[in-house]
Amino acid sequence: MQIALAEQLKYYRRRDTRTQEDLACALGVTSQAVSRWETGTCYPDIELIPVIANYFGVSIDELFGYHGERETKIRDLVSKISEMNRQNNGVDLCVEECIQLAREGLVEFPGNEKLMLCLASILFNAGYVRHGEKHMTDENGYDTYDVEGNRVCVEWQEAISLYENVLESLPVGEDYHRALGELVQLYANTGKLEKADAMIAKAPGIGESRELLRLVAHRNKAGSAYHGKAILELAKTCAEVMVWSVMLNQKHLTDAEAEESIGNAIGVMKSACPDGNFGFYHQNMIWLTMYHSEFLWKVGKKKAAFEALDEALMHARALEKAFSATEVSYTAPLLRNLREPSYHIPEARIVETLPVDWPWWQSPDYREVKAEMEADPRWKAWVERTKGAR
């Protein structure tokens, strides 16, 4: 500590073109005392440390040379927790461990925005894994949030508080928009619509999204990769909105109309990746095909329902492979220049959790359909295939 402080004192004093006498005068000590601090012979009294830091306009951590070490430790901890939390993909594998690691980090680095965001995001996911997003039908027959049922989720209540705190000072950027999006979802879940609308007003329109603005700026090979990413993101978003619309309008759609609409959403994704290489977007195909299987069963297409489950299994295996790679590349004609670094999670357990995750979206109530499908021998055979070798 003495050596680091000595070097930092000399660095900041020379940076500001101050003499030892200038510093001594400002602190009310002798220039000989300053000289001894800078040679590491001794160090200042503890009560002088914040005064010296303020004199140079730096934090105490920076004064002791800890800033770089501190930021590296925080970055590594956030990265570790985030990678662990990705395993909690619809199932609780290590949620509590992630929460505890983030809390311990905040004890060591109180008020750190990155760790606060990390904890908020874990709690956001924990609410879905542990409690689920509860829905109900309103007086007009439209699907809506079961506000009272969602408000009891303590994880979401704490996440809301954390997001509100951090967003007050967080600069606009990727972290800001992710936090804004998750906070809007939690406001909606818990019935805080006025707050949700106020946050939504701060977000850019589709035409001003990062993905589309990159297409304007880059007319080169890099631009070709950005076009590929935009195609995938827009296809994913379009497919998700179609599914959400099915859920919202479920009382006003026949089962056949709902099944066809979900099939069309899958078609949107397949139009972006006609060769079947979805990269990380195999994740979205898992969700879509599992949800589709529910409606295929409801309209009497029982063979097709189990074929959809097998398709979900194929996508899950492909996603595990993508997570284990060092880089993910796409091969469809309009995506060939797109390369993405992998999350590199070789231990990802996506295949084996499929039966638990089914049908992913839980609106409408799926329990009757699941009981019927589980009674079919083909369900047991499919579950066994999810336990097979990768």
99 and 222 fall within a common domain:
no
Q: In this structure, are residues 278 and 315 in contact, taking their beta carbons and an 8 Å threshold?
A: yes
109 and 8 fall within a common domain:
no
281 and 379 fall within a common domain:
yes
Query: Where in the sequence is the domain holding 165, given as residue range(s)?
Result: 89-203
The span from the CA of 370 to the CA of 84, in Å, is 30
Please indicate, yes or no, if residue 83 is contained in any of the structural domains: no
Q: What is the pLDDT of residue 60?
A: 81
The span from the CA of 93 to the CA of 359, in Å, is 19
Q: In this structure, are residues 321 and 329 in contact, taking their beta carbons and an 8 Å threshold?
A: no
Q: In this structure, are residues 78 and 175 in contact, taking their beta carbons and an 8 Å threshold?
A: no
Domain end, chosen from 203, 222, 244, is at: 203
Please indicate, yes or no, if residue 100 is contained in any of the structural domains: yes
193 and 222 fall within a common domain:
no
The span from the CA of 63 to the CA of 369, in Å, is 64
216 and 333 fall within a common domain:
yes
DSSP state of 135: E
Secondary structure (DSSP) of 326-348: SEEE--STTTTT-EEE----TT-
Please indicate, yes or no, if residue 72 is contained in any of the structural domains: no
Give the sign of the dihedral formed by CA 344, CA 346, CA 347, CA 353: positive
218 and 358 fall within a common domain:
yes
The span from the CA of 293 to the CA of 207, in Å, is 34
167 and 246 fall within a common domain:
no
Q: Which two tokens stand for residue 208?
A: 């001003």
The span from the CA of 124 to the CA of 120, in Å, is 6
Q: What is the pLDDT of residue 2?
A: 42
Q: What is the pLDDT of residue 346?
A: 65
The span from the CA of 103 to the CA of 117, in Å, is 11
Please indicate, yes or no, if residue 256 is contained in any of the structural domains: yes
Domain end, chosen from 203, 220, 237, is at: 203
Q: What is the pLDDT of residue 3?
A: 52
Give average pLDDT by consecutive 10-residue segment, the chain, 390 residues.
72 89 91 89 88 87 74 90 86 92 92 94 95 92 94 98 93 91 97 96 90 93 95 98 95 97 99 98 98 98 98 97 92 96 77 94 91 98 84
The span from the CA of 84 to the CA of 97, in Å, is 9
Q: Which two tokens stand for residue 170?
A: 């967080």
CATH code, domain carrying 21: 1.10.260.40
Which residue do the tokens 């069309």 mark?
Answer: 264
For 171, list phi and psi in degrees, rounded to 5: -70, 150
57 and 94 fall within a common domain:
no
- The residues with which 350 forms a beta bridge, in sequence order, are none
Radius of gyration of the chain measured on its C-alpha atoms? 27
Domain end, chosen from 175, 203, 231, is at: 203
The span from the CA of 160 to the CA of 117, in Å, is 11
List the end-to-end C-alpha distance of the chain, in Å, as a whole number.
Answer: 51
- The residues with which 340 forms a beta bridge, in sequence order, are 328
Which residue do the tokens 């479920």 mark?
Answer: 250
Please indicate, yes or no, if residue 58 is contained in any of the structural domains: yes
Long-range contacts of residues 248-254, Cβ cutoff 8 Å, at least 24 apart = 248/142, 248/143, 249/142, 249/143, 250/143, 250/363, 250/364, 251/137, 251/141, 251/142, 251/143, 252/141, 252/142
Please indicate, yes or no, if residue 253 is contained in any of the structural domains: yes
The span from the CA of 123 to the CA of 342, in Å, is 24
The span from the CA of 285 to the CA of 330, in Å, is 15
Please indicate, yes or no, if residue 80 is contained in any of the structural domains: no
104 and 186 fall within a common domain:
yes
Structural domain count of the chain: 3
AA identity, residue 312: A
229 and 198 fall within a common domain:
no
Which residue do the tokens 């969700």 mark?
Answer: 287
Helices (H), the chain: 2-15, 20-27, 31-39, 49-56, 60-63, 67-86, 95-108, 113-130, 147-151, 154-167, 174-189, 193-200, 210-217, 221-248, 255-272, 282-298, 302-324, 354-357, 367-374, 377-386
48 and 194 fall within a common domain:
no
Q: In this structure, are residues 88 and 99 in contact, taking their beta carbons and an 8 Å threshold?
A: no
Please indicate, yes or no, if residue 144 is contained in any of the structural domains: yes
178 and 266 fall within a common domain:
no
- The residues with which 328 forms a beta bridge, in sequence order, are 340
